[in-house]
């Protein structure tokens, strides 16, 4: 009786995922997560101001508030600008498209919001600066770093 040995030279050992490679993959996803989450969480605020969605007051109601409570006149224009920056700037951050200009526009908007909330102190539960300060910090970080390798800016070769 003859025995035959079969070898499988075409089969390779499964590659084990090492901690280092998992950490590198997670690290590569961290910046797009920060950028896109920032954008996604800003967008509904713009939709509230522009369209009255998500319990917002739309341009007319927000414009009246901007004019009467904040002294920003013409209120509808400032409400439209704020809403556009939040909605379209947020979308740009999600996509990583024109990332730095969008983040700078968001930072300017949040700088204005910060100035409005200063009299109320620090904590957001009292209408203070905590929340706008956090968003301002995120916008500045994104403006400084840019969209990163996983962005449309990078894919299109835009150097913003």
Q: What residue segments make up the domains of the chain, in order of their start?
A: 32-149
> What pLDDT sits at residue 7?
52
- Other Cβ atoms less than 10 A from the Cβ of 127: the count is 13
Q: Which residues contact 35 (CB under 8 A, 6 or more apart)?
A: 93, 94, 96, 99, 142, 147, 148, 151
Say which residue, 145 or 16, is predicted with more confidence: 145
Say which residue, 158 or 3, is predicted with more confidence: 158
pLDDT in tens, 52-99: 999 999 999 999 999 999 999 999 999 999 999 999 999 999 999 999
pLDDT category at 142 given cuts 50, 70, 90 is: very high
Tokens, residue 42: 């800003």
Q: Which residues contact 84 (CB under 8 A, 6 or more apart)?
A: 46, 50
Which pTM value belongs to this model?
A: 0.84
Cis peptide before 141 (omega within 30 of 0): no
> What pLDDT sits at residue 23?
85
């Amino acid at each position: 009786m003859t025995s035959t040995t079969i070898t499988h030279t075409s089969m390779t050992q499964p590659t084990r995922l090492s901690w280092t490679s998992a950490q590198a993959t997670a690290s590569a996803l961290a910046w797009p997560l920060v950028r896109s989450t920032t954008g996604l969480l800003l967008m509904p605020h713009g939709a509230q101001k522009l369209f009255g969605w998500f319990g917002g007051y739309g341009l007319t109601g927000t414009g009246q508030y901007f004019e009467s409570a904040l002294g920003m006149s013409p209120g509808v224009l400032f409400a439209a600008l704020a809403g556009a920056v939040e909605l379209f700037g947020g979308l740009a951050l999600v996509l990583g498209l024109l990332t730095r200009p969008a983040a700078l526009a968001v930072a300017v908007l949040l700088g204005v919001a910060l100035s409005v909330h200063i009299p109320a102190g620090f904590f957001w539960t009292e209408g203070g600066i905590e929340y706008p300060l956090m968003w301002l910090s995120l916008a500045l970080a994104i403006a400084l770093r840019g969209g990163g390798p996983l962005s449309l800016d990078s894919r299109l070769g835009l150097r913003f």
